[in-house]
A = this chain, B = another copy of it.
């Protein structure tokens, strides 16, 4: 049985930042050892196919649905088995394929505080069977875990509005919530705001339960981009704590402006030439990212793209786009302002950028 053509190995090309490598990570994944439907090794196969650097398989500590089904049919007492099984089953394949596998678990509770992931654990079993959720968090903290709140706007737990509860304030204060999934399935603008206001880490994950389908060119799972000092688990942990991340979701990059600006500038080679009263801005996209540019207010004597409400100027992956700019009324230069609609630096707000013509 051969895979169709689009199943080839394909890593999305995303630039590094100065002093950091950009690692492509997914910290929220399930297998048959909770309520996912694939064997743990499949998660390594998928990550390999997509060129990911690191993943964490984060089974629900509470609710191992498929093991329970198995228990009913086999009569074997599943409840007592270790919460490390999926990690251990995946590890040999992860090593062989050079994927960083991070031990993690999902602490699965009603809202508040809802579901949270604790990753970089040394022993998941110590978090299990804790009636009080704080006991689970404390056990993870004792292992120096990195914590993030999962899907804060999940309909099942936040039916109407994405709310912040006192319990979340306490978790942050006690070092038990370092980040939030700003994207999980869909984008949560409230979580975007909280990350900025409360200085939390931007996290985006797939939370995949079913098999991950092969992606067509230009498509990819939701992931966290981690700007790490090197390609190791320790460096990822350090970067997460220091909030050096961004989220890659569809065509969107979401995160702190300083990182998005540097990604933009490292992905695009920008050149300006001038002939008579026309300047040419050439954007050479060396990455697999897409850029959606929208016009903004500017000196009316600079004439360039307009009417971008539903028709943004698109710089496609690995492509070069030339933007002509007419210089009217004898001016010789000025500021070409635009927003990069899909580089979100505030909730639902694209990054502003200026290219100066001298």
B-binding residues in A (CB < 8 A): 1-8, 32, 37-39, 41-42, 45, 66, 69-70, 73-78, 81-82, 84-85, 88-89, 153, 155, 159-162, 185-189, 206-217, 219, 221-222, 249-250, 252, 300, 303-311, 316, 319, 326, 328, 344, 348
Q: Which of B38, B216, B311 contacts A186 (CB 8 A)?
A: B311
A189 to B39, CA, bound (A): 35
Check B208–A303 contact: CB distance below 8 A. Answer: no
Residues from chain B with Cβ under 8 Å of A211 in the complex: 38, 42, 211-212
Residues from chain B with Cβ under 8 Å of A304 in the complex: 155
Check A309–B187 contact: CB distance below 8 A. Answer: yes
Check B76–A81 contact: CB distance below 8 A. Answer: yes
Minimal beta-carbon separation of A210 from chain B (angstroms): 7
From A161, A211, A212, residue with most partner B Cβ within 10 Å: A211
Residue of B nearest to A6 (CB): B216
Residue of B nearest to A35 (CB): B39
Residue of B nearest to A76 (CB): B76
Residues from chain B with Cβ under 8 Å of A185 in the complex: 1-2, 307, 311
Q: Which of B77, B153, B212 contacts A306 (CB 8 A)?
A: B153
Residue of B nearest to A40 (CB): B37
Check B3–A153 contact: CB distance below 8 A. Answer: no
Residues from chain B with Cβ under 8 Å of A300 in the complex: 159-161
Residues from chain B with Cβ under 8 Å of A344 in the complex: 310
Number of copies: 4
A187-B307, A206-B1, A311-B187 known; A81 vs B85 contact (CB < 8 Å)? no
19 contacts between A and B (CB under 8 A): A4-B213, A4-B215, A8-B316, A32-B39, A69-B89, A73-B88, A74-B82, A74-B85, A155-B303, A159-B300, A160-B306, A185-B311, A186-B311, A187-B309, A187-B310, A211-B211, A213-B213, A213-B214, A249-B310
Residues from chain B with Cβ under 8 Å of A319 in the complex: 8
A61 to B86, CA, bound (A): 24
Minimal beta-carbon separation of A51 from chain B (angstroms): 14
Residue of B nearest to A213 (CB): B214
A39-B32, A160-B300, A221-B1 known; A310 vs B250 contact (CB < 8 Å)? yes
Check A208–B153 contact: CB distance below 8 A. Answer: no
A53 to B211, CA, bound (A): 22
Residues from chain B with Cβ under 8 Å of A189 in the complex: 307, 309
Residue of B nearest to A159 (CB): B303
Residues from chain B with Cβ under 8 Å of A162 in the complex: 306-307
Check A316–B5 contact: CB distance below 8 A. Answer: yes
Minimal beta-carbon separation of A285 from chain B (angstroms): 11
Identify 14 new A-B residue pairs, CB closer than 8 A, beyond the known A76-B77, A153-B307: A1-B185, A1-B221, A4-B213, A4-B215, A42-B210, A45-B210, A73-B89, A155-B306, A160-B303, A161-B300, A185-B307, A213-B213, A214-B214, A249-B310
Residue of B nearest to A314 (CB): B2
